[in-house]
Amino acid sequence: MRVPRFVGDGRIEFGEKPVPEPGPGQLLIAVKANALCGSERGQFFGGSGVTPGHEAAGVVAAVGPGTSTTVGTAGAVYLMDYCGQCRGCRLGFTNQCSAKRGDMGFNRDGGYGPFELVAESVFFPVPPDLPPHEATLLLDVMGTGGHALGRARLVHPDPQSLCIAGAGPMGLGVLAMAKLRLGPDFPVYVGDLAPYRLRLAEALGGVPVSLADHGLGEGLRAAGVASVDLAVDTSGKGAARQALVGALDRRGVLVCVGHGEDVRLEVSRDLIGPERAVLGSEYCRFSELADNLPLLLANRSYLARIITHRYGVEDLQAAFSTFFRGETGKAVVEQ
């Protein structure tokens, strides 16, 4: 099979690999769509020894011994090859597996190739009439975005406002899930530098906060916001996290989704007195895909607006270049 090779310095070449054969408990997926993600920045610019792509959807092309999935079944691929046996997995926290076998697209060949070999346990079937590019929305957009929102509401179950740092696909996912779960009139403020993404956030119902001329805190104040109940950082930037801590109301919660820089806290002032919390949020539980599928099917036209660009795999280089310039929402590569 012909696969893209991420060779570093923002260059993608093509080479060949054998089509893998499924072993016991495995499925061979004919990939139809794979969404781009900001977490692939390191692979695009630094190179990768495996075929990247961790937001894949496709159909089962072949099955290994001991599986029950039928050839031709459509579905999406969960990122983490979780063990199913550790304490986290037994409790349903597959995103916190302590004996994880791999991460698709990071240390296992992923979805930018035409075929992907996966454990049957990480394959999530979807209705056959759901287009593959829309099925990818179940993963990082709805899965990671919804999980972050759920983490915040464990601490603050009655929020009245939300601020998101970063209007990339992850931030747009948090925005969309907030609108779907908390209501279309729930106020969501979204800060970013990229005009394209700010316009997209506004089209999805968010209040855009441009960071071109001032910081996030100043931008919120200019929008008439003194404080917010929930804050989600998808940017990974320390300055954004710090500004969000400063913007939290009493009982407020900051959820850090984007990997990257640190945040500084004065425990008495920032946490104890106002009873604020700072949480981490990593991907989503496998069970959340089933929770979110009815929400996707009922809101396809709204959620599909997050996908602004669709490319053929031959245009993967251009897709990444445009994506990292901040000129797309969610971009999807199709086979």
On the 0-12 / 13-18 / 19+ scale of CB atoms within 10 A, 82 is buried
Report d(CA 138, CA 125) in Å as an integer.
Answer: 11
Tokens of 289: 């895909």
Report d(CA 235, CA 239) in Å as an integer.
Answer: 10
Q: Which of 151, 142, 209 is nearest to 177 (CA)?
A: 142
- Local mean pLDDT, 10-residue blocks, the chain (335 residues): 97 97 98 97 97 98 98 98 98 98 98 98 98 98 98 97 97 98 98 96 97 91 94 96 96 97 96 98 98 98 98 97 96 97
- Quick one: CA torsion of 138, 141, 143, 145, rounded to 10 degrees? -160
Q: Are 278 and 245 in contact (CB under 8 A)?
A: yes
Report d(CA 333, CA 128) in Å as an integer.
Answer: 19
Report d(CA 56, CA 288) in Å as an integer.
Answer: 16
Report d(CA 184, CA 176) in Å as an integer.
Answer: 9
Report d(CA 206, CA 13) in Å as an integer.
Answer: 38
The pLDDT, as a whole number, for residue 120 is 98
The pLDDT, as a whole number, for residue 213 is 86
Tokens of 124: 């999530």
The stretches of 70-144 forming alpha helices (DSSP H) are 87-90, 132-135
Which residues are CB-contacts of 98 (< 8 A; sequence separation ≥ 6)? 83, 86, 87, 88
Tokens of 274: 């106002």
Look up tokens 């971009």; give the residue.
Answer: 331
The pLDDT, as a whole number, for residue 275 is 98
Report d(CA 53, CA 112) in Å as an integer.
Answer: 5
- Number of Cβ atoms within 10 Å of the Cβ of 108: 18
Q: Which domains, and CATH codes, for the chain? A: 2-138+299-334 (3.90.180.10), 145-280 (3.40.50.720)
Report d(CA 130, CA 165) in Å as an integer.
Answer: 31
Report d(CA 323, CA 307) in Å as an integer.
Answer: 12
